[in-house]
Amino acid sequence: MSYVLATEGLDYTYPNGTQALKGVSLKIPKGSKAAILGPNGAGKSTLFLHFNGILKPQRGKVIYEGKELRYDRTSLLNLRQKVGIVFQDPDTQLFSASVIQEVSFGPFNLGLPEAEVKRRVEKALALTGIEDLADKPTHFLSYGQKKRVCLAAVLAMEPEVLILDEPTAYLDPQLVRQLIDFLEELHRQGRTVILSTHDVDLAYTWADQVFILKAGKLVTSGRPEEVFADRKLVEEVGLALPWIWEVYQRLKELGWPVEAPPPRSKEELLRELPCPIYQKIGR
């Protein structure tokens, strides 16, 4: 398996003395859906800022596509085209007075000609379903709309790796579902999607790689069913077990013969639920 992003022994301490990362080594497979889980203050955002070269490791290294990051102008510009971050608070990201300007900012920084910028902006607006907002001023928008503009602004740079910091925070359930569908689509196009969250249900259902961080350290990582199998560890970190996983485990304990692999979604779980009525009808 090839890895798109990796870190080795990453340390980072903020000027105020907060040790945000302590020897983090992890590898994110290319084309994967990775969820970085962890309680608040675990170091998720700091890790992300290393992924696109905003922060320079104080010790250890960051590796993109097998090569250690370099921090000169050209290399950084190159990296930031390939690794895009959607930040948690849209108001810190939106600087421009109108949506179309905001979305065109990134592509222009890549030195693309105006016609190509236009094409990309239109595409990004269409992908995120906000064409009708193009000429709106950014401060007219609702929170959900602002979030989508931020997403479009990063997508317009056509990154290979999309990083989203707490993308579902404050979104209503319908928007969360739309976002997840959208990320699924990006995944199908072969892009790597990394998101941070403390929503274990989301991580369990969506991700194919889960990393758990706590107090700046990588606690565990692997496929969701491997990671959540260690109940004690997950609870020690301050996270809960995904409800689907809990129900599935309880069914097994009750002696229900579950043959299939652990269900990943509500639908898969419901299909396996023991149902006496069905059995009666069957007889």
Q: For 99, what's the count of Cα atoms within 13 Å in the CB-facing half-sphere?
A: 27
User: From the centroid of its chain, how far is CA 29?
Assistant: 13
User: From the centroid of its chain, how far is CA 99?
Assistant: 23
Contact between 100 and another protein per CB under 8 A: yes
Contact between 131 and another protein per CB under 8 A: no
Which range, of 29-37, 99-107, 180-188, 232-240, touches another protein by CB under 8 A? 99-107
Cβ at position 263, least distance to another protein in Å: 37
224 within 8 A of 204, measured Cβ to Cβ: yes
Contact between 169 and another protein per CB under 8 A: no
Which tokens is 177 given? 């579902």
Name the amino acid, one letter, at 273: L
Contacts of another protein in 41-60 (CB under 8 A): 49, 52, 54
Which range, of 11-19, 72-80, 184-192, 202-210, touches another protein by CB under 8 A? 72-80
Phi, psi of 229, rounded to the nearest 5 degrees: -65, -25
Contact between 157 and another protein per CB under 8 A: yes
Which tokens is 96 given? 């421009």
Of the pair 80, 214, the CB lying nearest another protein is at 80
Name the 3-class secondary structure at 126: helix
Q: Which residues pair with 33 in a beta bridge?
A: 193
Contact between 196 and another protein per CB under 8 A: no
**Residues in touch with another protein (CB under 8 A):** 49, 52, 54, 73, 77, 80-81, 84-85, 87, 89, 91-98, 100-106, 108-110, 114, 117-118, 121, 135-140, 153-154, 157
